[in-house]
Each structure stands twice: as C-alpha cells, then as structure tokens.
Amino acid sequence: MYSFMAKRSLKKSVSQILVLVMFFSLASVLGAREAYAADPPKIQRISDAVQAGKTFTISGWDITSASQDVAIKLDTTNASPATPPGDALHPAIIQSDGKGNYVTVVMPSGAASGVYNVWVQNAMGWSAPAKLNAARAQWISEKQAWAGQKITVVGRNFAGSEFGASNQTIVRLKNASTTVNQTIVSSNAYMAEFAIASGTPAGTYDVEVSNDNGVHWSKPSSGQQLQVVSAGSDPLGLGVAWAGNFNWANQVNASSYGANPNSGADETAHIQAAIDDAGTNPNGGIVYLTDGTYRISSLHLARKVVLRGQSRAGTILQYIGTANGIAAIDSKTNYGQVGVANLTMTLAPGHNSRPDFFLQLGSPWMVPDANGNPTYPAGNIAERTAEQMFIKGVKIDYTLDTNGVDGQRGFPMMTLGKERFLVADSDFRGFAGYAHNYVNQYSSFTNSYMEFSFGVYINTAEYYVATGNTIVGHNAVNAEKHGLSIRANNYVADNKIVGMRSVVSGLVVGHENDGEAIMSEAPNGYFNYGTVSSASGLGVTVSADRTLAMPIAMYSYPAIQIIDGTGLGQLRKVTGISGNVITIDKAWDKTPDSTSKWTLITPNENTTAYNNTITDNDKGIWLFGNAYDSVVADNKFLDSEGVFIWSVNVKNANESNLSPNYYNRVTGNVLTGVSQLSKNSGVGVASERFDNGGGHYLAIQAFANEFRNNDLTGTNETPVGNSITEAPSYNTGIYISTADIGYYDGNNDVSAAGDTTNTIVEDNTVRNKQYAVTLTHSSYGTVMANNKTANVTGGFVRDTGSHNTYNVTNSGAAASQSTAAAPAFTPAAGAYTSPQTVTIASSTAGATIRYTTDGTTPTASSPIYMGPLTVTPTQTVKAIATKAGMLQSAVSTAAYTNSSATSVTLQAESYSDMNGIVNFGSTIGDLGAGDWVRFSNVNLGSGYATLRVRFTNGHTAAMTSEVRLDSLTGTQIGSFSTPPTGGWSNWTEMTTALTGASGTHDIYVKFSGMTDFDWFRFEDSVTAPTPVTVQAESYSASNSVSNYGSTIGGLNAGSWVKYSGVNLGSGLTALKFRFANGESTTKTAVVRLDSLTGTQIGTFTTPTTGGWGSWTEASTSLTGASGTHDIYIEFSGATDFDWFRFE
C-alpha cells in the first residue's frame, strides 16, 4: 500500500441455561458503559444471510438493555407492522451493548427460511421493523444499455440459498409507466448479471432485485438509474452502449497515407496523418492497420478516433522512440472518446529505450486551468473530464528481466478520466506492470492476462467490475509487486492472482511493502476527526482536531462518518465545509449530538471480492481502511496470508486521521498453507493506535464485522514478526486485535476500550495453528460460536483481556480433508534422444502444481507450474499438487534419460519396484541384506562401461551390491563396494566397471546392508553428435520479424532470420522446432546455409495449431548440415517460433 499505513514501525446450538449464564455474567460488564434511551430503538442494519440456529447482530441506536427484547416474524407479503404480532418469535439475546448500539441474538432453531421483519424493544417501546435477509442492491455497472447488452447489479442477499431458502432471484426494470422483467444471465449471492430484454421501451428505469420471486424488491442504494437506449453499432463487441458513439463507418486505412508494413522504416508520420485526417471528421473515425510490422515513436489519438489493427497476432507496433516521459500511443485530450484494439505493441529488436507508458488515454498528467495554472487530474476527481475510452484485444510484450530508466519505464497504461473506461481480452507482459487508471466511475477490466516483475493494476473507479483476469508476478526479479488495487463500489471476482511478492520465498531482507493480491486502499483518503457540537437539518457543527477544510478527493467522495456516541455508524456525503460547519447531502437517521465523534474520509464502501484464486502471495486480500459494507467471500487462498481488515487512528505533527471499517463480512473463504514471507495465514481485523505515542482510546474503529464459515489450514510454523506485513503475527486462524501493534496506554477499563466492537466469529474451521482465535485487550463485544478445530495446540482462544465476550460451542472437531491427486507427466519418464516438452497435470481440478527439475522434493517455495517445461536428459522432474482446502498430494517423479547420451542417471528414489528399502523423498536407505530396487526399461543404448554411484555409509564396515539385468538372478553386469564415509551426512561417489551393459533392460540393484544412495549413473558411452539449439529470438539479422523477447512472430511472406556462426559439427540430420500457428492455413519455411540463396539443407511446414497460445513441436530431415555456417530461415507467412534444434 502507498499510504501512511505503510509505516509499520509505528507500525450454538445454544441451550437456555447457557443463555441465562451469559446474561447474568454480562450484567457487571455492561454497567460501566450502560446507556439510557429517551426514545424507542432505531434499527440501522442487520446481519446478512441468516439461517436458523445462527447468530445475528442488529445495529442501530437506543438499543439499551432496559426491557430489551427482540421479535421476528416471517414476512411473505411485504408487510411492515408497527409492532410485532402475537405469534412473532423472540430470539434468545446472547449479547447486549452497554452503549446501546447493537444487540446480538440467535435465530431460533427450526425457524423457517426467508425474509423476516425484525423489531427491537427498550423501555420506551418497540422500534419500527427492519427487514432481515431481503435483497439489498448497492450499485449497477453502467448507466445506459440497449437490448441484449448486459448489466451487472451488485449487492447482498441475492441468493436465497445463502440463508436456507430456495433461489428465486429476479430482476426487473421499473419506472412510473413500465415494468419489464429481465433475463438473468448469471448470478450469485452478491451479483446478478442480466441482459436487457428485447422489447424493453426506451426510457430511464430503476433496476430492482428480489430474492423471493418478487415479494420484496430493492433498488441500488447508490441512487443510480439505467437508461435503455436504441441499439447502436458495436463491431468490436465492447458490450457497452457508448460503443455506439464511435463512427465505425468512417474507416481510414493507414496504408492510404503511406504506412507500409514490414518496411523496417519509421511509419509514425504516415499513421499519424491517418489519425489526424480521421480526427477532422466531427464524428471521428477508425484508423485501420493491416497485418504487418510497423515501427513507431509516438502516436497521438484525436478525439473520437480508434486505432484498430487487423489482428492482435498480426498487427505489430514496434517502438523505436528514444525521448523521456512519452507514451507510444496517447490521446492527451480532456474529452477522451478514444480506443485501441487488435494489435501488439513491443520494442523493436535491439532497441533498448522504452516508452514511459505504452498507452496513455484521457487527460494528460498536468492540465492548465483557465488561468494557466497547473492542475493534476490524477489527484482530484473534480478535474477529470475524459470519458468513453477502451483497450480491447491489445498485447504489450517486452522483457520481464530488466528495468527501464527514469522516463522510459515501460508502464503498460495510464488513464485519467471522469467515467467509462474498459480493458478487455488483453495481454500485458513486461518488467514494469504499473497500470495507473484514475477514473471516477463506470469501468471494467475483464478476461485479460498480466505478468510483470514490478507493478500493480490500479483503478480508482466506483462501479468497477474486474473479472476473469490472470495476474502473475515474475518472481525471478526481486521487485515490488501488488495485484489489483481498488477503491469503492467494485466487484472483483473469478480472478487468478499468483506470485505477488518482492523477494525470494522466506527472505525478509529486501522485502518491499507489497504482496497484496487484492487491496482496497485509502491513500489520501482520511483527513480529520473530532467531536460533534450540534447537528440540525443538513448542517453539523463540529470541533476538529486540526484546521477543518473541504477535502480534495482522489476517488469516491468526501464523507463524514459517526464513529462513537449518538448516531454511530452513519455515513453521509459532505457537500461543503464552512468554518466549523459540515454540510451533508441528506438528513441523519439519528441526529448526532455532543456525545458523537466523527471522522472525515473518502469511503471505500461496497467492495465485493468473490471467488478469486489467490496463490503464492506474501499477503492476500487486504482492506486497508474506510471499508464499509464490504464482503470478502468464497475466495481460495494457497500459500498466502489471507484476509486482513486494518483500522487505525493516527495523530502526529502532520495529520489527525481515523480510518474505520464498519459492517464488513468475511465468509466462505478457504485458506491452505502460509505466506512464505510471514509464515502466517488467517483472517481478522486489527484496530491500532498510532496517536503520538499515547495509545489512548479515541473511538470505535471497527464495528459490526463478521467472520463466518471460513476454512483455515495453517502449518503451525512460527510466524515472523509484525514488521513484515501489517497483519498481526499471531499463530492463529482468526484474530480480533486491538491496540496490540501500535501504541497502548495500558488502560483496559471497559470505558476506555472498544476500538474493535461487535464482532461475530461463527462456523469457522481452524487447523494446524497454536490457537483458533486470538482476542486481545481493548476489544469489546465479540461472539464466538460453533467453530471447529483440528491440531490446534494451544487451545481454542488466546484472550488477553477482551470485554463482553461470548464463547459457546467451540469444541467441535474439524472435518477431514481429501488429498489432491498426484501429478502425471506427459510424455512419461523414460529414455529419449532429445530434450522433451513435458506437461504436468493433476486430475484434481484447479490444483496448483509445484515442481523441481534437479531431483529435489518440491516444497511450498518451489516454482509453480505455469506451462510446458523443456526437459533435457538427463533430468529428473518431481511435482506435487496442492489446492486450497485439500491435503498435498504425494510426490510424483519422472526421470528423463538420454538414450544417446554419454550417461544415464537413475535417481535412487525413482524406482519402479523395491523390497525392504525406505524412500526418504530424494534418497533411499535403511537397507538390509537382500533388499533391492528395480528400475524399469532403462535404455543403455550401445553400451556403458562404468557405473558411478553417490552414497553415504555411516557404519564401520563396507557394504556390497550387485547390478543385474531383468531379474534378481539375471545377468550380472557389475558389482560395487560402499566403504564407510564417517557419518550418514557425508556423501561421496565411487565408480565400478561394467560388462554387457547395453540395450533396454530392467535394472536390479541388490544390497548387502546399510548404505544410503542418491543416484546411480551409467557412464562412458560411445560419443554421439551434440544437438545444437538456437533460440528463435537470438537472431543476428532479420527482415520483417517481431521479436517478443522469448519468441518471434509477426511473419509475412519473405520474412527471414539469420543465425551467425552455427557449428553443426560432423553432421546433424534433423531439425526440430517449437511453434504456434493461430491462422487457418499451413505455412512453409526454407533452411539455407550462408545466404538467402545458399545451399538448401531442408524445408518444413507449420500447420495450424488452433490458436496463438497453442504451442507444439515438429521436425524435418536435413541434408548436408555439417560444419560452421550462417543459418538462414525464410518464411512464407505468420507463425510464431520459440526455438530451432539441429539434431
């Protein structure tokens, strides 16, 4: 994260008896902070998705203990009686709040599933009813659509199955004259995507959602409406109504302006001329680039102009610019209305300079105001004006291994705009993956791939959808990496995020403040705090901790939130500040008074992080403050730290801030393993005091947060200290931490506690931890119920002084876990005459595979399998499969030997059969007389004369072994002795002569006693010609070829490459090559010596592979391939190549 928080150095089924015991035990606790009400209660919020037998919290005001009661009644008709009917149910109260801000109850066992009316009583009477389990729509993804286009509505309680009912979700569009039911395309508990029904009249509508087939309806709390418009043109499939605002009919072909693909010359001026001409049309146009390679320095898009290639694989823009601080393509228009589609951007071969940004859309970084003074739209939502911008089907590809210099950083994109920006179906690979998108609202990032060594994908927009993306950290480089950085009103789902960490696993020195897979950040989003003097209407008179001023918002909107006293939890938009009076946008539900405290923030409300796969990250999903009504649900974490909600109060010479987290839910997540950096994992909330060293209670930082149904499996390793990540370093599954990392004044009286208040921990499973829950001093009102454990060594809870805590029915045993299927290798282990392209797969869907190629046993820090491996005999590949919520698979081993190599190595542990031995994972041992191992189908070729063995013998006597073919009594081809080595950790090698070791056989090694073995190697074979591999991208000269860093492509008829001084030795007879052909026709190539008209030694074809991401291998015979030559390969058309191997 980038804010002050980075400074870490500051850094039941319940019995009635239990309920009664709890009630009386709370009486003395509540008295110290008991509130008295002059009015009946008001309900602000109720827990979501509540089933029979489960706890839930009712939050609001004047919920005092005198005459306290709760009533609920199933509501099947959308009625709202003022008081409970006589047949209402009265849930057991298990926890009350001394300040009167909430009450926690248990839904009666056997209660019917559905939507309920809920009432709360105090000594002054009953509250008005509030709905439990009703759908709550929060926001929609777009403000316009035409028939057939899809809209996403995001909220809570959309699926009845969450609370035990059937799923009866429906969506309708409704205005004063028309109601039209819509077709739901996909949905879950937090989202419904629907397609605008044909025949829906044009007009402006409320979007309404029901989870009970239309009894109760909800429209977005954001106040958004949807305008249905007439269908327009959308040839790129952008899926948004504003696609129709581009002039698709005005297509301007850049070739008409002199742009010549594959010329090798600078084509910038020609393409820019086409752009400028399209821009002279008031409606803009589409600048079209036919397939081929174009060299450019910097292009500037005009308003309403789209730059469109013929195909992503075929239209290549090679950057040749050298200036600092420029973009390869920019718009630099405050209006926006630009797009880039269907092309690849890379660096010209041998060109070291990079653009600072490959793509820069919308406003420039600095915009002069009316008086010529500089303004910076990145830091102020009011200064962003550009809209309607897109990146579709674009690939950016350059090296992952080296950083650029200042001004030539190679960032993929920066966007500055007011609204409506999308990225879809794109692929960004390169060292610097910092994608800066400062957009106010309506944005999306979908179905794209991103891989970087240093970077983060930032989008500050509200109404932001990020789905179906894969983000990978290139961990060969130790540099700062974050995944998705988000703000308010977002839906982040179905993404895969891998490898967000800056240093090698387990290292602390050099660690950057990074590692989040998804982070809801609040940089420059907390401004001031203080107390309320009085409030009336839309004005709030306050006392502030420092001079009060209207904030400048980078995202979201300025808001005041009540964080203690009367009116707790209310959030209102700030429309103005004058002196010490704050003006808000709508009246309070409960008017604050002199007991109230406030904070001034930009809220990160309504985040939804759902069903993401988080693998091998230092952290996980981090809510870095100002989170309000957010959900982290059903995500899968493997070898990552988990979910962390961080609240903090900071006061020093420069700032007075309080960053709260209210009404958030962490549910259904599965965590397996630990972060390789912190050696920790879990879910929890921390509220910390960094108040100039005082450590005093100020206000409720975290309120009404819930942790339910999470499955958390650690490793029982000792976590590294708190300076490594912001999360506490407790060896615990769930933590409620208050004033335990920052400062603490030592005052744990209930009147000076409660920074973290009203937390539910229910139905979670914790395995392999010291404690299931850690609960610290200064925490108030925690409910722990129905949690299960396994291998929790220190007890269920570590409690260092919490207040008003409920702990019942937490002794259940965790369910057993199934084991992931062991990986399989294709091709299988065996003897081969050349390197093999090996794929590894597990039959467990979604499993992560880790592997080694040096024969060692894989661990949680081993590389993650991302695609086929090139295995050169002799190598032994080992692999394990892991998946969140499952046990690790057995180790799979595949030894690849070379039938024509000078040696064949058999890893001792990779036997096919054995008797009496112990497999230690990478060695064997514990041998007795008569024990043996068998290695199947070992190809000894034309013969080996020597056997080399690596062993250790900790005994005082030498042991002997026999080597036989095909059976324990078969032909003996050798024997050897293993003398003492002075200890079992002292390894050495020895050799012995062999006789008759040729052909393909089962090899048996029979032992006389105790020795440990690492490997057996057959040596001294007849020398065979050495293959020569040429990496395709390492050419010495070329024509009309795109260099992608590790492959080549963008080929046309007549394209060629030259490889200088290739030594083919005494003669090689075959050429093997790895390629992808995403076109529909087969292409050909010719291989010649020394020139394009030199001796032809071979030809080959590259049939279609079904896609540019589908790679395969092929080979062709060669004639006259000997000696040292320049090798020329001339191509007939588009194919991508990885390497060429002469064999």
Average pLDDT over every residue of 391-402: 94
> Has residue 1001 got a pLDDT over 70?
yes
Per-residue pLDDT of 305-314, as tens digits, reads: 999 999 999 9
**Distant-in-sequence, close-in-space partners of 368: CB < 8 Å, separation ≥ 6:** 374, 375
Asked if residue 326 lies in contact with residue 355, where contact means CB atoms within 8 angstroms, the answer is yes
pLDDT of residue 693: 86
**Distant-in-sequence, close-in-space partners of 103: CB < 8 Å, separation ≥ 6:** 57, 58, 63, 68, 70, 93, 95, 96, 97, 120
Neighbours of 1142 (CB within 10 A): 26
975 and 1046 in a single domain? The answer is: no
Number of domains in the chain: 7
Q: Establish if 780 belongs to a structural domain.
A: no
Average pLDDT over every residue of 1012-1036: 80
**Distant-in-sequence, close-in-space partners of 493: CB < 8 Å, separation ≥ 6:** 191, 466, 467, 608, 609, 610, 611, 612
Ranked by mean pLDDT, the top range of 841-850, 1048-1057, 1071-1080 is 841-850
894 and 949 in a single domain? The answer is: no
> Has residue 2 got a pLDDT over 60?
no
Structural domain boundaries enclosing 879: 824-898
d(CA 864, CA 842): 13
Residue 910's closest CA among 926, 933, 882?
Answer: 933
DSSP 145-181: E-TT-EEEEEEE---GGGGTS--B-EEEEE-SS-EEE
Q: Establish if 687 belongs to a structural domain.
A: no
76 and 197 in a single domain? The answer is: no
Q: Token digits for 944? A: 């080996």
Q: Of 583, 601, 619, which one is at a domain's C-terminal end?
A: 601
Query: What length does the chain have?
Result: 1143
Average pLDDT over every residue of 321-341: 92
Q: Of 844, 877, 898, which one is at a domain's C-terminal end?
A: 898
Q: Which of 21-25, 648-652, 1042-1046 has the lowest mean pLDDT?
A: 21-25
CATH number for the domain spanning 429: value is 2.160.20.10
pLDDT of residue 3: 36
> Has residue 1117 got a pLDDT over 90?
no
pLDDT of residue 1008: 94
Helix (H, G, I), strand (E, B) or coil at 521: coil
The DSSP symbol for 304 reads: T
CATH number for the domain spanning 95: value is 2.60.40.10
The whole-chain average pLDDT of the chain stands at 92
pLDDT of residue 970: 94
Residue 808's closest CA among 841, 785, 791, 830?
Answer: 785
347 and 270 in a single domain? The answer is: yes
pLDDT of residue 402: 87
Average pLDDT over every residue of 372-384: 91
pLDDT of residue 1023: 44
Q: Establish if 865 belongs to a structural domain.
A: yes
Average pLDDT over every residue of 648-654: 95
Beta strands in 487-524 (DSSP E): 490-493, 496-498, 518-520
Q: Which of 245-249, 604-608, 1076-1080 has the lowest mean pLDDT?
A: 1076-1080
Burial (CB count <10 Å: 0-12, 13-18, 19+), residue 815: exposed
Q: Token digits for 112? A: 């019917």
d(CA 929, CA 924): 15
The DSSP symbol for 819 reads: B
Residue 292's closest CA among 265, 273, 274?
Answer: 265
pLDDT of residue 1120: 85
d(CA 547, CA 22): 46
d(CA 997, CA 1016): 13
d(CA 617, CA 639): 7
127 and 144 in a single domain? The answer is: no
Average pLDDT over every residue of 448-462: 96
The DSSP symbol for 776 reads: -
Asked if residue 37 lies in contact with residue 60, where contact means CB atoms within 8 angstroms, the answer is no
Q: Establish if 498 belongs to a structural domain.
A: no
Comparing 1123 with 29, which gets the higher pLDDT?
A: 1123
Per-residue pLDDT of 119-145, as tens digits, reads: 999 999 999 999 999 999 999 999 999
443 and 576 in a single domain? The answer is: no
> Has residue 978 got a pLDDT over 90?
yes
Average pLDDT over every residue of 67-90: 98
Q: Tell me, what amino acid is at 622?
A: W
Per-residue pLDDT of 879-930, as tens digits, reads: 999 999 999 999 999 988 766 556 788 999 889 889 889 888 788 988 989 9
Average pLDDT over every residue of 7-13: 30
Residue 355's closest CA among 231, 235, 468, 268?
Answer: 268
DSSP 409-472: --EEEEEEEEEEEEEES-EEEEEEEEEEEEEEEEEEEES-EEEEEEEEEEE--EEEEEES-EEE
- Please, which pLDDT band fits residue 426 given cuts at 50, 70 and 90? very high
CATH number for the domain spanning 1062: value is 2.60.120.260
CATH number for the domain spanning 533: value is 2.40.10
990 and 1099 in a single domain? The answer is: no
Average pLDDT over every residue of 553-557: 97
Lookup result for tokens 């002054």: 124
Average pLDDT over every residue of 45-63: 98
pLDDT of residue 1025: 58
Distances (CA, A) of 494 to 169, 451, 466, 633, 1110: 21, 17, 8, 11, 23
Buried b (16+ CB within 10 A) or exposed e, 69-95: bbbbbbbeeeeeeeebeeebbebbbbb
86 and 179 in a single domain? The answer is: no
Q: Establish if 516 belongs to a structural domain.
A: no
> Has residue 1022 got a pLDDT over 60?
no
Average pLDDT over every residue of 319-343: 93
Per-residue pLDDT of 256-303, as tens digits, reads: 999 999 999 999 999 999 999 999 999 999 999 999 999 999 999 999
> Has residue 331 got a pLDDT over 70?
yes
Q: Of 546, 579, 601, which one is at a domain's C-terminal end?
A: 601
> In this structure, is the dihedral angle defined by the CA atoms of residues 1102, 1106, 1111 and 1115, taken in order, positive or negative?
negative
Q: What is the pTM of this model?
A: 0.81
Q: Which of 224-233, 429-438, 1030-1039, 1101-1110 has the lowest mean pLDDT?
A: 1101-1110
pLDDT of residue 846: 93
Percent of the chain with pLDDT over 90: 76
> Has residue 6 got a pLDDT over 70?
no
328 and 357 in a single domain? The answer is: yes
* Pairing label, strands 613-615, 496-498: parallel
- Please, which pLDDT band fits residue 15 given cuts at 50, 70 and 90? very low
370 and 333 in a single domain? The answer is: yes
DSSP 940-990: -TT-EEEEEEEEE--SSS-EEEEEEESSTTS-EEEEEEE---SSTT--EEE
> Has residue 25 got a pLDDT over 50?
no
> Has residue 695 got a pLDDT over 90?
yes
- Please, which pLDDT band fits residue 954 given cuts at 50, 70 and 90? confident
pLDDT of residue 24: 34
Average pLDDT over every residue of 204-215: 98
Residue 677's closest CA among 626, 642, 629?
Answer: 642
Q: Establish if 492 belongs to a structural domain.
A: no
Q: Establish if 385 belongs to a structural domain.
A: yes
Buried b (16+ CB within 10 A) or exposed e, 33-47: bbbebeebbbbbbbb
Residue 457's closest CA among 481, 421, 427, 430?
Answer: 481
Q: Token digits for 684? A: 């929890």
Percent of the chain with pLDDT over 70: 94
Answer whether the bond into residue 827 is a cis peptide, omega within 30°.
yes
Q: Establish if 893 belongs to a structural domain.
A: yes
Helix (H, G, I), strand (E, B) or coil at 498: strand
The DSSP symbol for 348 reads: P
Q: Token digits for 1128? A: 């020329």
> In this structure, is the dihedral angle defined by the CA atoms of residues 508, 511, 516 and 517, taken in order, positive or negative?
negative
159 and 110 in a single domain? The answer is: no
d(CA 532, CA 551): 18
Average pLDDT over every residue of 328-342: 92
Q: 184 - beta bridge partners? A: 194
Answer whether the bond into residue 874 is a cis peptide, omega within 30°.
yes
Give the CB-side neighbour count of residue 5, counting CA atoms within 13 A: 32
350 and 458 in a single domain? The answer is: yes
Give the CB-side neighbour count of residue 118, counting CA atoms within 13 A: 29
Q: Token digits for 820? A: 């992931």
Asked if residue 37 lies in contact with residue 64, where contact means CB atoms within 8 angstroms, the answer is yes
Asked if residue 1118 lies in contact with residue 1070, where contact means CB atoms within 8 angstroms, the answer is yes
Lookup result for tokens 């397939």: 291
